[in-house]
Structure 1
């Protein structure tokens, strides 16, 4: 009879310091999501599977983390699974059960997702790429699940546009155009401003299932920027996007605030203690740095702030 192999992970470490997050990252798996009366959606997803580690234990059982992920994904294939956050939630709860030394288990998932789209002027069918963000944290007090997305759009800087508008006003006056005509022209024709590609990230986290429609969440994030962008764009579409973006110039801070307003309006039935995370990062076109803004708050707080406007 073979001797039992030693469990080195269960021994005491040389330095007895507890760790918050220990596990595996970069785990790629296929996830199949069922849809009523439609073909399932198959995602190539990347997982992080993590637990906390007490100070008296040398290491975590990494193989158990992988075992749990494989079990959950096999269940998702054999039984209908409609929401990626549920996959993460079940995995986190099983991790907590299998690791008797841990008090918290986390599962995070990210996957690329294609949605059907239509160009704004030529009305041609196309597709848009978004990143699905899902996760769950399980403790003895319960499980919190998270769902969200990261989308790409276009923004225009109001500050540079204001300077260009003033330049246009002075030039029109020099040409003898009357004050009223100048004001009307500037109202009707938005002036140039430096533009950038923007990246909006929006997630909602709550106890149990957040009951958030992912596609509605994606719409809120896409509408938070100056204009949407499209993989396919004929000349009328390019004209539409350029005009729309410059007619709706926004700072990076404005995008986050518009996300907050959109979530409050779109999800009236979500509980006040749901945690909303909103991030906007802009790839600046005239600077070597990028612009960033973010806010994390309970939905009840956002509702109060939006109502006060």
Structure 2
């Protein structure tokens, strides 16, 4: 049959990204303990298209994704996925975004009861011919914050709220951080972590811990920035923190982006 995609195009426009998006597939994500977690992933996979060609072969993207959906995926496998699609389509560049819910095992602080916290996660990768994989890990983790101003001026307590912190982090080649480790680092920067399951003794603990550790949204963001600076091999990171305010009809928000190479040795040691 006639291959229309390989027909010549005379408009002289190369396309940087062409492929498939909003592909829902079951995927296996490697865990820190050496196992894997089965997730429902929403995927975008693209390659570059030279100006000489009319179109790409969409079916090959789905073929590659279907094959890799049966293999546990982490940093190294992302490079293999992109190499695979580049080889099949004779491309010089490939990009992939894998968005999924990842479940973290949590134990209540006093009772020790186990539950699972769902977090939005992103694996994003770019591969150029002859280069290393550029990999970005994205993670959103909920937290509790307690208002320092409210605590200072109130006789009976202080208002607190649930917030959400989002991190995107890009490591240099040869470096990697597990989802579990990044989540633990992020949770420590709030007034208190969020737990899906709490008994009365646990609720007492988290209420008092937040009260003893009041933080504005700015405090949470700055502490998170300092923690990320201490990670090895980080090229850049983005941070967003948002408090879902309990006494206002609006949210409190802060954001920051940083190239770590621009940080001085004195700042890094803080």
d(CA) in 2 for partners of 1:111, 1:307: 32
From 202, 208, 218, the counterpart of 1:253:
218
8 Å Cα contact 1:264-1:303 kept in structure 2: no
**Maintained 8 Å contact 2:22/2:43:** yes
Q: After superposition, what is the alpha-carbon deviation per residue over 1:64-100, rounded to whole angstroms, capped at 9, x for unaligned?
A: 22222223334x2xxxx4x523332221222333333
In structure 1, the partner of 2:255 is 294
TM-score by length of 2: 0.83
C-alpha contact 2:5 2:56 (8 A) present in aligned 1: no
Contact 2:144 2:193 in 1 (8 A): yes
Distance in 1 of aligned mates of 2:79 and 2:220 = 30
Q: What is the Cα-based RMSD across aligned positions, in Å?
A: 3.1
After TM superposition, the structure 1 = structure 2 runs for residues 188-227 of structure 1, keeping only pairs within 5 Å, are 191-193=157-159, 195-227=160-192
Are 2:9 and 1:12 equivalent residues in the alignment?
Answer: yes
Matched, 1:155 2:120: no
Distance 1:35 1:232, change over 3 A: closer
Contact 1:260 1:302 in 2 (8 A): no
* Equivalent in the alignment of 1:134: 123
* 2:268 match: 307
TM-score by length of 1: 0.73
State the SS of the aligned residue for 1:105: strand
1:176 match: none
Contact kept in structure 2, 1:146 and 1:210, CA below 8 Å: no
Equivalent residue for 1:72? 68
After superposition, the C-alpha distances for 1:135-162 in whole angstroms (9 at most, x for unaligned) are 2100133321223422111122334x1x
Q: 1:34 to 1:134 in 2, by over 3 A?
A: closer
Q: Distance in 1 between matches of 2:79 and 2:136?
A: 9
Structure with more of its chain in helix, by fraction? 1
Question: How many residue pairs end up in the alignment?
Answer: 269
CA deviation profile, 1:106-165 (whole Å, cap 9, x unmatched):
111122222222112333232222233212100133321223422111122334x1xx63
Q: Which structure has the larger Rg?
A: 1
- 1:88 and 2:69 equivalent? no
CA distance in 2, matches of 1:37, 1:95: 29
5+ unaligned residues in a row in structure 2: which ranges?
none
Distance in 1 between residues matched to 2:200 and 2:126, nearest whole Å: 47
> SS of the counterpart of 1:236?
helix
For residues 32 and 112 of structure 2, the distance between their equivalents in structure 1, rounded to whole angstroms, comes to 28
Deviations 1:31-86 (A, max 9, x none): 33567997543232221112344556544432222222223334x2xxxx4x5233
Contact between 1:25 and 1:48, CA under 8 Å: does it hold in 2? yes
Matched position secondary structure for 1:231: coil
Gaps of 5+ in 1: 169-188
Alignment-derived partner of residue 244 in structure 2: 283
Matches of 1:20 and 1:251, distance apart in 2: 42
Cα distance change, pair 288–244 in 1 and its aligned pair in 2 (3 A): same
Query: Equivalent residue of 1:131, what SS?
Result: strand
SS of the residue corresponding to residue 175 of structure 2 reads: coil
